[in-house]
Chain A
Amino acid sequence: AQTVTQSQPEMSVQEAETVTLSCTYDTSENNYYLFWYKQPPSRQMILVIRQEAYKQQNATENRFSVNFQKAAKSFSLKISDSQLGDTAMYFCAFTYAGGSQGNLIFGKGTKLSVKP
């Protein structure tokens, strides 16, 4: 069974600094997708970034980038120039390409606080 582990329950960072959130996963599959979702205190879950396992190039979205290490089954999220609005729960998620698309497997989340 696939599992997703986020080893940092809570993190904090000063505004304008850079922070990296860790995620590891376990799967025997070769074709899958990984996601980082953000859930601000308002509770609406928002997609931050996604990575296709078959792509070697790390995904980037503005201040957000990932370090995808397929062999190590690691998928960390780097937030550059942190802003107060980045304060949220961050969830790493996995989905298997060969099965039904609807099933996202989530990690327990990392609570990120950006301090002024």
Chain B
Amino acid sequence: KAGVTQTPRYLIKTRGQQVTLSCSPISGHRSVSWYQQTPGQGLQFLFEYFSETQRNKGNFPGRFSGRQFSNSRSEMNVSTLELGDSALYLCASSLGLAMETQYFGPGTRLLVL
């Protein structure tokens, strides 16, 4: 099976712009979770989608949003970018059942100038 894929792999944006990141889960997986990784804060949970519904949400401002499509692919959007949004954004997929292991994609490295 193909693994979790994320596009694009690298992005450079300027403050105030918005950005959309994409994640394609492993075939058959219905849950997609997003995490932000920074040197200072480490790995922080953004949100999780299951069957096109947001099932859980971390403590991030409303500028961070996401959605999931019927084929389980997911997108996350960050509006009005700030310098502090520079990070590696990781997506992980799983079957969505209780306690299933999450499998991570390679990440999208976002740099905000």
**Chain B interface residue count: which class?**
20 to 34
Given A43-B88, A44-B104, A102:B31 Cβ within 8 A: yes
When the two chains form the complex, which single residue of A37, A45, A97, A109 contacts B99, counting CB atoms closer than 8 Å? A97
Number of A interface residues, CB 8 Å?
25
When the two chains form the complex, which single residue of B43, B88, B102, B107 contacts A102, counting CB atoms closer than 8 Å? B102
* B48 surroundings in chain A (CB, below 8 A): 100-103
Q: Mask for A38-72, Cβ within 8 A of B = 1, else 0? A: 00001111110010100000000000000000000
**Residue among A44, A50, A100, A101 having the largest count of chain B Cβ atoms under 10 Å:** A101
- Report the Cα distance A33→B99, complex, angstroms: 7
> Could you tell me if B102 and A100 are in contact, using CB atoms closer than 8 angstroms?
no
Is B63 positioned at the interface, with any CB of A under 8 Å from its CB? no
Is A75 positioned at the interface, with any CB of B under 8 Å from its CB? no
> Could you tell me if A108 and B106 are in contact, using CB atoms closer than 8 angstroms?
no
* A25 surroundings in chain B (CB, below 8 A): none
Is A99 positioned at the interface, with any CB of B under 8 Å from its CB? yes
> Could you tell me if B103 and A47 are in contact, using CB atoms closer than 8 angstroms?
yes
When the two chains form the complex, which single residue of A45, A47, A101, A104 contacts B98, counting CB atoms closer than 8 Å? A101
Is A13 positioned at the interface, with any CB of B under 8 Å from its CB? no
* A104 surroundings in chain B (CB, below 8 A): 33, 35, 43, 45, 92, 102
Contacts beyond the supplied A47-B103, A101-B31, A102-B55: 17 A-B pairs with Cβ under 8 Å: A33-B99, A43-B88, A43-B107, A44-B105, A44-B106, A97-B99, A99-B56, A100-B56, A101-B48, A101-B98, A102-B50, A102-B94, A103-B45, A104-B33, A108-B42, A109-B42, A109-B43
